[in-house]
Amino acid sequence: MCSAGKGAAGHSAGFVLAGGGSKRMGNDKALLPYGGKVLVVHVALNVLAAAGSVSLIGPPDAYRHLNLPVVPDLYPGFGPVGGVVTALSASTAEWNLIVACDMPGVSAEFLASLLAEAIDSGAECTVPVTPDGRRHPLCAVYRQTARLPLQRAVEAETHKLHAAIEVLNVHLYPVSTPESLANVNTPTEWKTFQNATH
């Protein structure tokens, strides 16, 4: 289980969602080699630096060897909404930074600014929005009060996170660097990202 970090800005904890099917990639995105590590560890270290703690959400057998805390998904196969509810259920922190494992462009600095924005706003959910208008709820901060509404969304079979957070008090955080929020779903996207960063 994670231990909540206690920074100057208040209680926070970090989570990385790692239990997805990775169907379009063809193999587990979380374990793609990246920067001398695997992708989920790269993301987790940035989350840890920003939030003061990090736990993975996913099947423990798949990720135990990474020497990071792993919380089993309460709703395996349901999708990201279930993963977010699992993270909030495992957390004792008020502010929870939750990031998907397939976002190699995130940095500790960006995530720390997102967390600070969330605490300052007081919203139940603080979501980055890129210049193209896209919202990114898979790299967002969820207040502990969001757990019950999102749990009800799971019970109502709401699989899309964009739809599930509509019942929350959402604060949008404008981001001018969309590459910070790039996610990789296919071998082509992965190759494109690697080429752009080398």
Contacts of 167 (CB under 8 A, 6+ apart): 149, 152, 153
Whole-number pLDDT of residue 7: 42
pTM score, two decimals?
Answer: 0.91
pLDDT digits (tens, 9 = 90+) for 16-72: 999 665 555 556 788 888 888 999 999 999 999 999 999 999 999 999 999 999 999
Where are the domains positioned within the chain? 5-196
Whole-number pLDDT of residue 21: 59
C-alpha 166/C-alpha 87 separation (Å) is 19
Whole-number pLDDT of residue 32: 87
Fold of 5-196: Spore Coat Polysaccharide Biosynthesis Protein SpsA; Chain A (3.90.550)
